[in-house]
Amino acid sequence: YADNRGKGGALKYGFAHIARHYPGQDVVCADSDGQHAVVDILRVGRAVHPGAMVLGVRAFAGRVPARSRIGNLITRWAFRAASGVDVSDTQTGLRGYPSAALPWLCGVAGDRFEYELNLLLRAREAGWTIDEVPIATIYLAGNESSHFRPLVDSLRIYLPLLAFSASSLVAFGVDFVTLLL
């Protein structure tokens, strides 16, 4: 499409296209920044099964740019605190989805980098499990090809985590006040 609608918008467009023109086909998404080896993409594809999204997860060992290592550590911790779910690599760009997930994937909020975190946040309530497949950690030229804007995109990622947590805190407050009455 002519206007940049963000990563989430592009993924949703692709999911809708596949659901419409290739019904019953599972989907594997891999970022185009050179961070994913073909062998890992194929492994994630083989691991896709009904009822689960599959994440290709990096170990973050060796020569990893500091912003990537720290960003994933913080997001991982915040995600676990907000959702109670432990995911090894919340920011992975290598993911597999069963065909039955496509309508759900098209309906999850978010049009930019926050979309993939929203998928993880909403997976459990939608009945999806999150499976992990270890993959190689590859960064080319210090991750210079990334389109991630640290300040703006971090805010887009962390705001849904805060909103998700806020709903739990409000529910706790209502329960607590009700108990006191």
Cβ pair 60, 72 in contact under 8 A: yes
In a domain, 18, yes or no: yes
Phi-psi category of 121—alpha, beta or left, where left has phi over 0 and alpha has psi -120 to 50? Answer: alpha
In a domain, 89, yes or no: yes
In a domain, 36, yes or no: yes
Residue 12 is predicted with a pLDDT of 97
* 9 against 114, higher pLDDT: 9
Write out the H or E segment, with its range, that includes residue 55. strand 52-57
Q: Which amino acid is at 66?
A: A
Residue 85 has pLDDT above 80, yes or no: yes
In a domain, 1, yes or no: no
For the question of whether the overall pTM of this predicted structure is more than 0.75, the answer is yes
In a domain, 129, yes or no: yes
Q: Give CA–CA dist 113/148, Å, rounded.
A: 8
Tell me the average pLDDT across 104-125: 92
Tell me the average pLDDT across 90-118: 94
pLDDT band of 156, cuts 50, 70, 90: low
Task: State which residues form the domain around 115.
Answer: 6-180
Number of compact structural domains in the chain: 1
In a domain, 82, yes or no: yes
Query: Which among 100, 91, 11 is positioned nearest to 53, based on CA atoms?
Result: 100
Tell me the average pLDDT across 98-104: 98
In a domain, 146, yes or no: yes
Tell me the average pLDDT across 10-31: 97
Residue 147 has pLDDT above 70, yes or no: no
> Picking from 32-46, 107-121, 126-140, 161-175, which range would have the lowest pLDDT averaged per residue?
161-175
Cβ pair 52, 128 in contact under 8 A: yes
Residue 145 has pLDDT above 60, yes or no: no
Q: What is the mean pLDDT of the chain?
A: 85
In a domain, 32, yes or no: yes
What tokens appear for 139 in the block? Answer: 């960064």
Tell me the average pLDDT across 58-84: 80
